[in-house]
Structure 1
Amino acid sequence: MSKKIRWLALLTLLVFVGGALLTGCGSSGTGGKKETYPAKSIEFVVPFAAGGGSDIMARMLVKVITDNKLCSQPIAVNNKPGGSGSIGYAYVAEKKGDPYYIASVSSSFYTAPIMGKSPVSYKDFTPICGLAMDTLLLVVREDSKYKSVKDVIDDAKARPKGVSVGGTSGTSDDAVMFYAMQDRTGTEMKYVPYNSGGEVMTALLGGHVDIVWTNPGEALGHLQAKKVRALAVASKERLSALPDVPTLKEQGIDLVLAQFRGIIAPKDIPQEAVAYLETMFKKVAETPGWKEDYLKKNMVEGRFMNSKEFAQALVDTTKMYEEFLAKMKK
């Protein structure tokens, strides 16, 4: 083979290899075209069992998104309960840089890291948006001997650890309220944790616990069916949907507790994905379906926050819980 032929063969090989390498460098192997987000289905992780407040919100969000065609790809809810929410949150945190995973935020997202019961905190995620403010109701069975918060306190003082209180986990807002109420009233009660708000209500109805702290939406159906009664609400003012239920403060206990419900994603996801998700959820918050079927029906206050605002809210809420829990230890 002549030198000229060998050089032509080598040049042809270099051109072929170089072209292959350039093709391989294109986004998603599409000939250099940038992939438009979302290009596949999105997994919506709920760190608690079905039936609780986080699950109710997630499934309503997906329904509104689907009904209004707000996402070009399907969104599937995946319940990953356990470890006071830490299992589900750790699962999402491990997907660093992957915009196809999102999760709902509830109180244990803030409290579990503070209590040393979660390996991840808000610093390990990308805040997408805030959607609502939720509070707590103190609920008993319809046939309960307790007619007021005073009745509960009096019985707890007479029978230390004799009054059982159902909740979702040792790091949830209901657990924080449980310990705070004990601290303020000088009582000792028994906390019984379950995997979700739905399980808590089942335990109450079955007579396995005496009282529960629960989100209004989790108790609503049972309240309407007159299977349970609400003795108090932990908000600053009475709920418009339950005007006859007094606040704790009205009953002599100066405690107010509410939680932000929102959406997070793994850390370091593309800004394009953050913008898409933020816009999508903002559109959800503006729909009649969300306002009527979720906010009004579940007695939740709508409060949309964009990614930047929600990032600050995560910091502020974590600080609030840190101060709240520190006072309880004193």
Structure 2
Amino acid sequence: MKKSILFAFLFIMGAFVVACGSTSSVTSNEEGSADTNTETTDEVAEFTPEGPIKYIVGFAPGGGTDLAARSAARTLNEEGIVEESFAVENITGGGGVRALMELRNKGDENTLLQSVDIYAGMYMPDANMRLDDFIPVAQIANNTLLMVVPSDSEYQTVDELMNAMKDDSKQIFIGLPSATDTVEVAKWNEIAESYGIESELRFIPHNGISEVVPELLGGRIDVALFVPPVIKGYLDSDELNALATLSTERLEVLPEIPTLVEQGSDVYFYRPQGVFMKAGISEEAVSYWENALKEMTMTDSWKEYIESQLYIDEFKGRDEYTEWMDTEGRRYSEFLNSQN
């Protein structure tokens, strides 16, 4: 009988010890509820990239997107945010599509891609990739476009230009840096529609923005859209005149230029610089890079770069940046469908 009592006592004490051990990883928060430390939390805290970090750019060295990637890599290193080195790789072709394919096919947790605007190649009828193949991690800077005419143009306001288009859209030559199925063309059509212009616009395609500038200066085209860094020198020398900025608010660097919104249109046009990663990589890696890029955009050195390039200092995290990509992508898809 005594042995039975002893065994029962030992069994109860053992169960008590096990119960205590099972709650050792549970703590109470300020409201008194229990928080459990999970493996995922530890993984987020412990994740670090393995260098060198592959940083893909889908455009040629020296361009705006290339400079943004190299400046981001340098800032991340010099500010001590990321210790591992970066290797920037330019993979040109297809308006950035070849670089996207490289990321999709070979990307991992240590591979970034510098993105600009939305990629027209994702929305073509025969596209072999979609936004779902990627993770828009963060927008690290923003940019807009200016509607620009020659300084001696007969159209010195947006209303004058649009009224001329309404009278005869074929008499206004619109310069393009590339083909006529791009996002820029979609935006021109949105602008025309907002002013009640129903006739087809006349576009003059070129091989790059460097060809558009002399054509505008020479009066062989009437109007074109440019990002501020490309055109500011010509504005300062009064060789060209900006009728509007396609941002929702006036730019700090060019406060004298009114927005298109102020002049009766609800159309805006942004070309943000952001960072993509391959879909399917770990949540820990995505969170690491999102946080690192956010910290980078808060540094003085990055802000100096933004100011020098006339960018808009605007960070967007993963959710907000992805929402922007989705919205603009749908608008472009609607434009493409309307052309068929």
Range class of TM-score, shorter chain: 0.7 to 0.9
CA distance in 2, matches of 1:220, 1:62: 26
Q: Which runs of 4+ in 1 moved over 6 A?
A: none
Deviations 1:57-78 (A, max 9, x none): 2233223224324322322333
Residue in 1 aligned with 2:56?
A: 45
**The residue matched to 2:118 in structure 1 has which SS?**
helix
Which structure 2 residues correspond to residues 89-168 of structure 1 after superposition, within 5 A? Answer: 89-96=100-107, 98-109=108-119, 111-116=120-125, 118-156=127-165, 157-158=167-168, 160=170, 163-168=173-178
1:57 partnered with 2:56:
no
Deviations 1:264-294 (A, max 9, x none): 1122223443233223211211111222321
CA distance in 1, matches of 2:175, 2:111: 34
Q: Which deviates the most, 83-92 or 253-262? A: 253-262
Shift of 1:203: 5.8
The 1:117–1:180 alpha-carbon spacing in structure 2 relative to 1, beyond 3 Å, is farther
TM-score, normalised by the number of residues in structure 2: 0.71
Shift of 1:322: 4.3
Residue in 1 aligned with 2:301?
A: 289
TM-score, normalised by the number of residues in structure 1: 0.72
How big is the alpha-carbon RMSD for the aligned residues of Structure 1 and Structure 2? 3.4
Instruction: Kindly indicate whether the alpha-carbon contact (under 8 Å) linking 1:135 and 1:235 is maintained by their aligned counterparts in 2.
Output: yes
Which structure 2 residues correspond to residues 74-85 of structure 1 after superposition, within 5 A? Answer: 74-85=85-96
Aligned residues: 291
Shift of 1:328: 6.2
Instruction: Kindly indicate whether the alpha-carbon contact (under 8 Å) linking 1:46 and 1:79 is maintained by their aligned counterparts in 2.
Output: yes
1:180 to 179, 182, 190: 190
Shift of 1:137: 0.9
Matched to 2:287, the amino acid is: A
User: Which runs of 5 or more residues in structure 1 are unaligned?
Assistant: 1-34
Shift of 1:198: 5.6
1:261 partnered with 2:279:
no
Shift of 1:148: 2.4
Matched to 1:148, the amino acid is: T
Residue in 2 aligned with 1:87?
A: 98
Deviations 1:115-161 (A, max 9, x none): 33642221001232222333221123445454222443355444616
Instruction: Kindly indicate whether the alpha-carbon contact (under 8 Å) linking 1:239 and 1:299 is maintained by their aligned counterparts in 2.
Output: no
Shift of 1:255: 1.9
Which structure 2 residues correspond to residues 212-227 of structure 1 after superposition, within 5 A? Answer: 212-227=224-239
CA distance in 2, matches of 1:104, 1:51: 14
**The residue matched to 1:303 in structure 2 has which SS?**
coil
The 1:117–1:299 alpha-carbon spacing in structure 2 relative to 1, beyond 3 Å, is farther
The 1:76–1:259 alpha-carbon spacing in structure 2 relative to 1, beyond 3 Å, is same
Residue in 1 aligned with 2:263?
A: 251
Matched to 2:122, the amino acid is: P
Q: Which deviates the most, 282-291 or 158-167? A: 158-167
Residue in 1 aligned with 2:247?
A: 235
**The residue matched to 1:160 in structure 2 has which SS?**
helix
Shift of 1:210: 3.9
Instruction: Kindly indicate whether the alpha-carbon contact (under 8 Å) linking 1:135 and 1:215 is maintained by their aligned counterparts in 2.
Output: yes
Residue in 2 aligned with 1:17?
A: none
Identity %: 26
Instruction: Kindly indicate whether the alpha-carbon contact (under 8 Å) linking 2:148 and 2:243 is maintained by their aligned counterparts in 1.
Output: yes
